[in-house]
Chain A
Amino acid sequence: MITNIILAGVGGQGILTIAATLDTASLNNALFFKQSEVHGMSQRGGAVESHLRISDGQIYSDLIPMGEADMILGMEPMEVLRYLPFLKKEGWIITEKNPFVNISDYPPMDAIFTKIESYKNHLIIDASAIAKKLGVTKAANMVLLGAASHFIPIKDRALRAAIKSLFQSKSDRMVQLNLKAFDAGKQYVTTMESVLK
C-alpha cells in the first residue's frame, strides 16, 4: 500500500518541517518513503511543493504521478489548487484557511473556497488561529499535520516521537508546544464527526 501526499505552501511556511516529521515517523514505523522537496530560488517567498510517498514496499519514482495523490496538504488555500491535477478521485484536500498574500493579483477568496468545497473530501482549517490560541503562531503547520494525521497510515506514537526528535535540538519548550499544536489539530478533526465516518 502506498500513500501519496502533496505538501503545498509558500517558501518559509514550514512545509518542509511537516515533510521531515512524516519522514522520521515513517522510519519509526518501519515504512519506506521518498520525499522530494524544493530548494533554492523558490524558497524565497515563492510557491513550494513537496512530494511525499509512504509505503510498506519499494517506491520507485520520487515524484507522484498525475491523479495519484491521496492528499494535498496545504499551508495556503490557493497553493493547494495548483496541485489539483495530482489529486486522486477520492483524495483529500486539507488546507490552512488563511491566505498568504504576497502577490498583487491574488484571486478572490470566495472563488478559492468554492473550488475547494466542490471536492467532497476537503477540510479547511483555521490552523493559525488554533496555533495562536496555544501561544505558538508558528506551529500552524503542526496543527495541520495533526488534522491530516487521521488520514495518514502512520501511528500517532511515531508522529509524536518524530516531532520530539526534530525539535529537541531547539528546546524542550519547543517540543512541548509543537506536540500541543499537533494534538490540537488532531482534536479539531475528532470533533467533526461528519469527516471521520
Chain B
Amino acid sequence: MRNIVLGNEAVAQGAIDAGISGVYAYPGTPSTEITEYIQRKKDEKYLDIHANWSANEKTAMEAALGMSYSGKRAMAVMKHVGLNVAMDAFMNMAIAGVNGGLVVVVADDPSMHSSQNEQDSRYLANFARIPIVEPSNQQEAYDMIRHAFNLSEQLQLPVLLRLVTRLSHSRSLVTFNKPRKQKKINFLEDIKRFQLIPARAKPQYDKLIKKQKRIRTFSEESPFNKLVISKDTSLGIIASGIAYNYLMENFQEGCRYSCLKVSQYLLPRKQIKYLFDHCEKILVLEEGYPFIEEQLADFFEEDHKVIGRLTGHLNRTGELNPSMVAKALGIKKKKTNKIPDFVTGRPPQLCDGCGHRDTFNALDEIRKIIGDKQIFGDIGCYALGALAPHHTISTLIDMGASITMAKGAADAGVHPAIAIIGDSTFTHSGMTGLLDCINDKSPITLIISDNSAVAMTGGQNSAALAKLKNICLGLGVDPEHLKMIEPLPKNHEENVAIIQKELDYKGVSVIIAQRACVRLPGERKKMIKEILAAQN
C-alpha cells in the first residue's frame, strides 16, 4: 500500500518501523514534523515510544545517548543550527560509541527559508568522524533510517541522517515495510568506553580513527551509492541527496553521462576513482555547502577537472533547483516570463491579536526615548520584531543570545540594555545567561514574552509552562524586580510605565509578559489559564 507522507513523516514512520524506543527533539523548522508524527502515532496506536519534547537539542542528544547506552534504539532530531547546541554531546558520543542504534536526524535549511544560516551538517558529522546517510526522496528517507540504525549498530557509532527543507517538506507516496521489534535493556559488559577520562578517551579516539576504513568500505558497498557508467566520457557527475533528483529531472530518459549517486558517506573512493579515470570532467551536484566538491577539487586550481559551486558552474550559496542544474549541464534555457516590477515582497508578520505585538508596542514607546540600538532580540515568532511595522529588536543571533548580549552591552556601559526572549527559548538557552547576569549584578531588563507555546513551529508544548516565575526567583532574581504584565491593548499605558520603572533600576529586572498564543485552540488556552492561576 502506498501512503501519502512528508519526507519528515517518512523518516518518522521509518524510525518507528526500525524499532526505536525513543525520539528526543526540540522543535525547529524544517525538522519539527518528524517528532510530531511519532507523537501522533504513539497516541493512535498506543506505541511504547518516548516522544515528549526536550528542553533543547543538547538535552535531547544526551537523553538519546542514555537510551542507547541502555541497549535500546534512540533517535535525536533537530534542525541544523540545533546541532550546534548539541555539539558537545555529539562530538563525544562519537568517541565513546553507542550501544543500541543511535541516529541523529538533522534537517538543513539551504536558502534559509526559516533559519539564520544555511550551515551544512555533513561537515559536522565529518568533524565527529561518523557516517552520514542522505536520502534523495521520500521512499529513501523511509528506507534509509532503518539502514542508518543498522549501520549504527554494526559500527557501534552514531550515524547522521541529513535532510534538507525540500525533502523534509515535500509529500509523496511511500511504501512501508514490516515493523521490527524494539530492543530490550542490555548493558555492555564493559562500559569503560563511556567514561571519557583521558586514559579511556585516547584509545577510544584511536579506535574511531581505525574505524574510518570500515566506514568507507560500507559506503563503497552501500546499495544507496549507485554508479552508472555511460559511453560518453566528456563529463562525469556526482550527485548527492536531493540534487540527484534535479539531475534526473533533466534526463527523464536516463542520464547521458556517467553518474555516481551519493547517499552514504564517507565518500565511496572506489566508485569516485573509476569515475575520475573514465571522465574528462567531474560535475558535483550537492545541496548546501560544497562538501564533496571541496574534498575532490584540486587545491592549486591547476587541472580544473572538478566543477560545481566553487567554480561558478552552480550558485555558490542557496538551494539548487532543476533549472540551475540544467544550466550547469549546458542545457539550453527556455525563455520564461518575468515577474512584473510592481510585485512587492510579502514578508511574514505577527498574527492579529498576538501578545508579542502589544509587548512590542510598549517597547516602541521606550525606543522613542532610548533609540533603536539597545533592544536585544531572540529566536521565535518575535524575531519578526526586526521587520515592519515594529522594527523593535536590534539583534537576533541565536537561541538565548538576547540575554547574554544585553549583559555584554551592559558590561560595556550601555544603559538601559533590554533583552526580549520567548518562554520556550528562555528555558532552551536563556536560564544560564540570566544566572550570569544575577551573579554579576548586570543592569539589564529582561522581558520574557510568554505565550506558553513554541509558537513559530506550530504551537508545541513549552517546557517553560507555569515555571518562569519560580525559575527566575530560584536563579536569584529580586522578587521586587520580577513583574508580571498582561500584554493587551487596554493595559498599554500601565505596561509601559512598569517597563520604564524597571529600566531605572541598576540591576537585573525581569518582566514576564504573559498571554497565550492567539493561534492555540480555545481549550488549550483555557488549560493554560487554569495552570497559571493555580500557580499564583
Residues of A within 8 A of B (CB): 10-11, 19, 23-24, 27, 32-47, 59-67, 78-79, 81-82, 84-87, 102-108, 111-112, 115
Whether A102 contacts B172 by the Cβ 8 Å rule is no
Given A34-B171, A42-B113, A61-B322, the answer on whether A84 and B334 have CB atoms closer than 8 Å is: no
Is B465 in the interface zone, CB < 8 Å from A? no
Whether A45 contacts B348 by the Cβ 8 Å rule is yes
Is B343 in the interface zone, CB < 8 Å from A? yes
Give the residue of A37, A44, A81, A112 whose beta carbon is less than 8 angstroms from that of B350: A44
Whether B169 contacts A37 by the Cβ 8 Å rule is yes
Give the distance to chain A from B429, nearest Cβ to Cβ, in Å: 19
Of the listed stretches B95-103, B189-197, B217-225, B244-252, name the one at the interface; the rest are far from the partner chain. Answer: B244-252
Give the residue of A27, A46, A82 whose beta carbon is less than 8 angstroms from that of B349: A46
- Residues in A neighbouring B33, C-beta threshold 8 A: 39
Task: Pull 26 A–B residue pairs with CB atoms less than 8 Å apart, ordered by A.
Answer: A10-B346, A27-B2, A33-B172, A36-B169, A37-B169, A39-B29, A39-B33, A39-B458, A42-B348, A44-B350, A45-B351, A60-B246, A62-B170, A62-B242, A63-B322, A65-B249, A65-B321, A65-B322, A66-B333, A67-B337, A78-B344, A82-B339, A84-B336, A103-B345, A103-B346, A108-B342
Give the residue of B30, B167, B339, B345 whose beta carbon is less than 8 angstroms from that of A85: B339
Specify the chain B residue showing the minimal Cβ separation from A59: B172
Give the residue of B170, B252, B337, B349 whose beta carbon is less than 8 angstroms from that of A84: B337
Is B347 in the interface zone, CB < 8 Å from A? yes
Q: A32-B172, A60-B245, A104-B388 are in contact. List 14 more A-B contacts (CB 8 A).
A: A41-B113, A41-B384, A47-B346, A61-B248, A61-B249, A61-B321, A62-B170, A63-B166, A65-B321, A66-B321, A66-B336, A67-B335, A85-B338, A107-B343
Whether A61 contacts B348 by the Cβ 8 Å rule is no
- A63 CA to B319 CA, complexed, in Å: 11
- A4 CA to B126 CA, complexed, in Å: 38
- A63 CA to B164 CA, complexed, in Å: 13
- A176 CA to B342 CA, complexed, in Å: 40
- Residues in A neighbouring B322, C-beta threshold 8 A: 61, 63-65
Is B484 in the interface zone, CB < 8 Å from A? no
- A91 CA to B246 CA, complexed, in Å: 22
Whether B248 contacts A107 by the Cβ 8 Å rule is no
Give the distance to chain A from B241, nearest Cβ to Cβ, in Å: 12
Is B456 in the interface zone, CB < 8 Å from A? yes
Given A23-B4, A60-B249, A82-B343, the answer on whether A37 and B349 have CB atoms closer than 8 Å is: no
Whether B343 contacts A81 by the Cβ 8 Å rule is yes
Whether B337 contacts A87 by the Cβ 8 Å rule is yes
Is B461 in the interface zone, CB < 8 Å from A? no
- A102 CA to B350 CA, complexed, in Å: 11
Give the residue of A10, A19, A44, A81 whose beta carbon is less than 8 angstroms from that of B340: A81
Type the 1/0 row for B309-344, where 1 means its CB is closer than 8 Å to any CB of A: 000000000000111001000000111111110111
Is B117 in the interface zone, CB < 8 Å from A? no
Give the distance to chain B from A15, nearest Cβ to Cβ, in Å: 14
Given A60-B245, A111-B342, the answer on whether A40 and B456 have CB atoms closer than 8 Å is: yes
Is B381 in the interface zone, CB < 8 Å from A? yes
Give the residue of A24, A41, A82, A115 whose beta carbon is less than 8 angstroms from that of B29: A41
Is B92 in the interface zone, CB < 8 Å from A? no
Residues of B within 8 A of A (CB): 2, 4, 29-30, 32-33, 113-114, 166-167, 169-173, 242, 245-246, 248-249, 252, 321-323, 326, 333-340, 342-351, 381, 384, 388, 456-458
- Residues in B neighbouring A23, C-beta threshold 8 A: 4, 171
Whether B349 contacts A45 by the Cβ 8 Å rule is yes
Specify the chain B residue showing the minimal Cβ separation from A24: B4
- A169 CA to B29 CA, complexed, in Å: 26
- A10 CA to B349 CA, complexed, in Å: 11
Whether B340 contacts A111 by the Cβ 8 Å rule is yes
Give the distance to chain A from B379, nearest Cβ to Cβ, in Å: 11
Whether A38 contacts B113 by the Cβ 8 Å rule is yes
Given A44-B350, A47-B346, the answer on whether A62 and B167 have CB atoms closer than 8 Å is: yes
Specify the chain A residue showing the minimal Cβ separation from B246: A61
Whether A103 contacts B344 by the Cβ 8 Å rule is yes
- A61 CA to B166 CA, complexed, in Å: 10
Give the residue of B114, B167, B171, B333 whose beta carbon is less than 8 angstroms from that of A41: B114
Give the residue of B323, B333, B344, B351 whose beta carbon is less than 8 angstroms from that of A44: B351
- A37 CA to B7 CA, complexed, in Å: 11
Whether B342 contacts A27 by the Cβ 8 Å rule is no
Whether A66 contacts B384 by the Cβ 8 Å rule is no
Whether B321 contacts A63 by the Cβ 8 Å rule is yes
Whether A44 contacts B348 by the Cβ 8 Å rule is yes
- A33 CA to B384 CA, complexed, in Å: 34
- Residues in B neighbouring A33, C-beta threshold 8 A: 171-173
Whether B348 contacts A39 by the Cβ 8 Å rule is no
- A23 CA to B248 CA, complexed, in Å: 22
- Residues in A neighbouring B388, C-beta threshold 8 A: 104
- Residues in A neighbouring B166, C-beta threshold 8 A: 36, 62-63
Give the distance to chain B from A127, nearest Cβ to Cβ, in Å: 20
- Residues in B neighbouring A104, C-beta threshold 8 A: 388
Whether B348 contacts A78 by the Cβ 8 Å rule is no
Whether A27 contacts B170 by the Cβ 8 Å rule is no
